Amino acid sequence: MLVDELPDFTSITPAGLAARIREQLTACARELERIASQTEHATVENTLVPFELGDAELRADLGLLWTYSGSVGGSQWEAVEAELSAPLARYEDARYQDPQLFQRFEVLAGSETDEQTARTISEHLKRFRASGAHLPAEPRQRLREINARLAVLETEFNQRVVRSSLVGAVPFSEADIRGLTDNQRAGLAADAAAHPELADGHPFLAVLRAPTQQPLLTNLDSAAARARLLEAALARGDGHDPKSDTRHIVLETARLRAEKAELLGYADYAAYVAAASTAGSSRAIDAFLTSLVEPARRNVEAEREALVAEYRADGAEWEVTQGVSGGFTAADWAYERARSRREKTAIDEADLSPYFELWNVIENGVFFAANRLYGLEFVPRPELRGYAPDMRVWEVRDADGQVLGLFLGDYYARAGKAGGAWMHSLQDRSRRGHHHAIICNNLNITRPPAGEPTLLTWDEVTTCFHEFGHALHGFLSDVEWPSTAGTAVPRDFVEYPSQVNEVWAAHPQVLASYARHVETGAALPTSFAAYLRSEGDGEDGFAISEMLQAVLLDQAWHRLRIKDVPTQDAAVTEFERQALQATGMGTPLIPPRYRSTYYKHIFGSDYSAGYYSYLWSEALDADTVDWLRTEGANGDDGGLNRRAGERLRACVLSRGNSRDPMEGFRQLRGRDVDTRALLRRRNLER
């Protein structure tokens, strides 16, 4: 039964899970030795099957470990994660560095198999070569040492970033928070009550969120309060708090990755990562990014001139900081942009939130769109519990009644939980593995006072749709082998389905379903809906600039040779400055979306040298949305129909990595991607 597949979260303890993982690591290592040492000719049944399925229990428990360490946190889970990081790295090396296993897979590659099995064998061989299985013993040993150390550094980086977001929290007085909504005020008051040692007697506390730009900057009226908040966000990990200083981790990680790339025969780590991507090479990535830089700079300058002029006309109190004429600073951009849009549209962001109640957005928005496109049904399972309070669980059924799995919604922020938003899977669907998926979506929404509704910002609404796009990639998986299921695709493809799913947030039919006033039930006014559909029109320089800077900063760190990596912690800031200036994107008015010291995507996860993936995938997304609105549309429905949904499902969502994912895109569009769709969306065309 499906309910039996959901872990019993009440029985899971840090010590118990750690002991179980240690036992399984030993057993799985023995199984790898058995597979490798067989004297029989390699076949699918005696080599691929046990290699794919032999560590299923270990993978399930690792899913629990990542769930608890990322979504729950706390010192006990941090200790377990730190303890197991090196042994887990050693196990992965044992899987993909063993020359005997490598040889058996080379034999398999020469045998006759079906298309999906051949693809799976080919992907494993790529992983063997990328891990150095073909190298002599000495460099393989050094690679194992590097991988073990990198695993430890990644864990420590993530834990320090979580700490920095809390210890860097900004206490505010009543006067400081003018302009905030009642919901925001209540959230800051709750954080102050939960962390009195950080609030220092103040009634409000702003705990820092993942990106550089903090959501509160949009409507904090006090320029001084905005400046303090942005300064705190930018200072995370910079050494002012020794326990959350990440600069030494950044430098050692960059150095080790450069050495790893050199051992494997690549010019640099970025080239190593690109080789396994759909982009294929650093040259292709550079060509794509270069096409965006100059149009982005042009848009930024036009926006800056307009906003500064309005800032002056508004009679704002100026403080000359950062050498910027007129006192208009990086902390003022989001605020002034929101104020300008309010003046032009007579709509305040605060007017929108009462129409975006969390559970209504999920059930009558996110689920509604998935039903219209794919025929999915979502049955609440209130008797099932997640790993944290206030989570909800739904059973996901296909149009024919087949159960696809369970969806867990973990939407609230809490102490110890990692910042940002993400999807993670506890169980994937494949014909050789599990038949049901268990998938979680995580956000970090401020919890309202007891009994009050949870009202979302528009950005949080689109994030709900985005993360569920990842979940759809998992639930609709229809592949043979577990290693190719769902989101197990190249990094620069994985964001594509989730970005496409964002389009439904502002779709007229979907908005009409979920955007209802929390008190009156009234529909979202047509002027508000038009405002949301035009969000970003002509004003996208800031968003593309902060993203491009983060992408280029990632590339800069991972284009370094060993000898070029700075050796002093204090050099991290200067390296950033020079790297961004060299690209032509550096400006004090728009800091990168992440600075190195809290850039978890590249120093705490597997997006290293791959943050460009968001823009690369968005090119696919923009081209697909054009298809939805033209060939995929039924009348004026913008593609919100079963025919378009089934086409997306057949070409992209169901196939995982069971074939080259770009084949699915080409099957959908009948050609390669047209990047002009992205330029149009981002207002970057001349």
Q: Please state, in angstroms and rounded to a whole number, the distance separating the CA atoms of residues 20 and 27.
A: 11
Catalytic (active site) residue 467: yes
Q: Please state, in angstroms and rounded to a whole number, the distance separating the CA atoms of residues 438 and 6.
A: 7
603: amino acid identity, one letter: F
Q: Is the dihedral of CA 145, 151, 152, 156 positive or negative?
A: positive
Q: Please state, in angstroms and rounded to a whole number, the distance separating the CA atoms of residues 456 and 230.
A: 22
CA triplet 309, 315, 321: central angle to 5 degrees? 70
Q: Which residues of 611-629 are buried (b: 16+ CB within 10 A; e: fewer)?
A: bbbbbbbbbbbbbbbbbbe
Q: Is the dihedral of CA 39, 44, 48, 54 positive or negative?
A: negative
Asked whether the beta carbons of 384 and 8 are under 8 A apart, the reply is: no
Q: Give one DSSP letter per residue of 172-240, joined into a string.
A: E-TGGGTT--HHHHHHHHHHHHH-HHHHTT-SEEEPPPSSSS-GGGGT---HHHHHHHHHHHHTTTSSS
Check 156, 395, 467, 480 and give the catalytic one: 467
Q: What are phi and psi of 403, to 5 degrees?
A: -80, 125
User: What secondary structure, in 3-state letters, does 68-90 show?
Assistant: HHHHCCCHHHHHHHHHHHHHHHH
Helix then strand then coil, in percent of the chain rounded to 5, is 60, 5, 35
Q: Please state, in angstroms and rounded to a whole number, the distance separating the CA atoms of residues 488 and 473.
A: 10
Mind telling me the catalytic residues? 467
